[in-house]
Amino acid sequence: MAKQKPSLNTVNFSATQLMEFDACTRCGECVKYCPTYDARDKNQDIEPRDKILRWRDFMTKSYGLKARLFGPEIIPPEEIKKFTDDLYNCTTCGMCGTVCPAGINTIELWESTRANLVKYGTGPYGKQSLFPKLIEEGHNPYMKQQKDRLAWMTPDIKIAEKSDIAYFIGCTAGYNQQVLGVSTARILNKLNVPFMVLGEDEWCCSSALIRTGQQHINDTPKKAAIHNVEALKAKGAKRVIFACAGCFRAAKIDWPRAYGKALPFEAIHMSQFLAEQVDAGKIKWEKSLNKTVTYHDPCHLGRHVGVFEEPRKVIKSMPGIKLVEMKRNRKEQRCCGAGGGVKAGIPDLALGVAKGRMNDAKETGAEALISTCPFCRRNLLDGRDELKLDMSVDDLVVLTANLMGLSTDVKAPAPGAPKESISDMFRTQTIPPKPPAEPKKEEPKAAAAPAAPAPKAEAPKAPAAPKTEAPKVKATPAPKTEAPKAKATPAPKTEAPKAPAKEAAKTPAANKK
């Protein structure tokens, strides 16, 4: 009698990873810390331990002793589908691995299992399936144009054509959080650090694809990593600064794997760079701010890469600022909830986790929550608004720029622009409300709606920064957003802010992490 084929295969797992499934002692330490398990009302199906044990059971049924003797046991497809859904209810924050007594590398395990299930056909989850097409074709997950990569630039910002130092802007800062882009650039200018950018040559770091198990689709992350590395190398970069924790993690861990060797430059996070400048006494604080702040360690910067102290060093050096820690900090911080494709795929879960983290911040009595990841910031702003907390949420770079006496103003925000595009702490700008939608015209065939109203090219209305020479790089200072080419993209949904006095809007497409 011919033996049946196993229901699941073992692709995307290394031998040691399959061993790791057998290493779980079921102690449940991971359960105590899992942010999505908490946000899902302690649903046992979501806990990391349960997922490891269920996959172990699948493997044993397929390849264990009994399977060898009598043939594999069939696993019902609905059981695999349920497992897949539970698996994607995870931000891949890695807290489970950090506390695991057996030292299981859970981040890699979840990513491999996701990739396996994408190939099987039950993954990814919801809108995450749009990532491959968006990133492959448009080189960003936001349905934006490459030519608008530098649309955030203001005339005061100077960018060199060539330099040893490069600033890798990232899609989130480039398209949605202009305040981070302008703040980073102005700080570097002020410090007399010449820097270059890739501009239209910059491609998405592809973190979203890797985290959601879709790296094999057209090999997009590999192609993107090689492209970015080669482009930076060609421009002579020796040091590349990242202000986005997600891009930084990709460059530190994922790019060398794709590139096949060590990167030809040093990848450094902006918080590390700032800490160096503080140490060297190069940062001159021009303002003082009497505020108590707390710091949220992004998973991608902290637990994944190990940068914990540099952001704190910068904050502690700021005049007037008092840093208080949340109970869960550094290695044991609680995830913001946006990572692992959750913001795009399961927004209600992302919001639930964000609320948990904002409540952590509230306990400290801090007036502001500072982070070093634009994507964390975006989700934490959502959590803050949902809880109606009176707390600002901003990036370390934005705070640094302000206290260095620099403007954090961006070009005049377009009506209905994402709330995260401007600074939350330093309210010198407002986002005009979105105009009422025009009556629907005949919809073009197979074309999707744009993510957000396209801001037409217009002169900046209130850039507080001094006017200097125009940027030298091939930049497109005036944003001109065109209809995206991708099919089946989510329609824009811009909501009114829930918190009072918070000019904010929500752009669901801005969910890539």
| Integer angstrom CA distances of residue 94 from 98, 104, 214, 243, 246 | 6, 10, 19, 21, 14
Tokens of 328: 């869960």
Instruction: Compute the least distance from the CB of residue 52 to another protein, in Å.
Output: 11
Q: Which of 3, 5, 68, 162 binds another protein (CB under 8 A)?
A: 68
- Decide if residue 255 touches another protein (CB under 8 A): no
Q: Applying CB under 8 A, does 64 fall inside the site for another protein?
A: yes
Side chain identity, residue 137: E
Structure tokens at 458: 């217009």
* 472 within 8 A of 158, measured Cβ to Cβ: yes
Site for another protein in 362-421 (CB under 8 A): none
Closer residue to another protein in complex, CB, 65/262: 65
Least gap, CB of 476 to another protein (angstroms): 36
| 466 touches another protein by CB under 8 A | no
Of 374, 326, 428, residue with least CA distance to 170: 374
Widest CA span of the chain, in angstroms? 81
From candidates 3, 5, 26, 467, binder to another protein by CB under 8 A? 26
Count the residues of the shown chain that bind another protein, applying the rule CB under 8 A.
Answer: 44
**Pairing outcome for strands 392-395 and 321-324:** unpaired
* Contact region with another protein (CB under 8 A), list: 42-50, 377-385, 407-415, 467-475: 42-50
Helices (H), 253-332: 255-259, 270-279, 309-316
Give the one residue of 48, 97, 298, 339 binding another protein; rule: CB under 8 A: 97
How far apart are alpha carbons 420 and 307 in whole angstroms? Answer: 24
The 109-128 contact track toward another protein, x by CB under 8 A, reads: ---x--x-------------
Residue whose C-alpha is closest to residue 102's, from 165, 49, 147 = 49
Least gap, CB of 208 to another protein (angstroms): 17
Q: Could you tell me which of 177, 277, 134 has the C-alpha nearest to residue 504?
A: 177
Q: In the complex with another protein, which residue's Cβ is closer, 65 or 437?
A: 65
CA distance 109 to 52: 9
Q: Which is nearer to another protein, 4 or 25 (CB)?
A: 25
Cβ contact 398:425 at 8 Å:
yes
Name the β-bridge partners of 168. Answer: 242
Residue 22 engages another protein in binding (rule: CB under 8 A): yes
Among 43, 105, 146, 317, binds another protein (CB under 8 A): 105
Q: How far is the CB of 231 from another protein (least distance, A)?
A: 23
Q: Which residues, 190 to 229, sit near another protein by CB under 8 A?
A: 215-216
Q: Does 32 bind another protein (CB under 8 A)?
A: yes
Q: For binding to another protein (CB under 8 A), which residues are involved? A: 9-20, 22-29, 31-32, 44, 49-50, 53, 59-60, 63-65, 68, 97, 99-105, 112, 115, 215-216
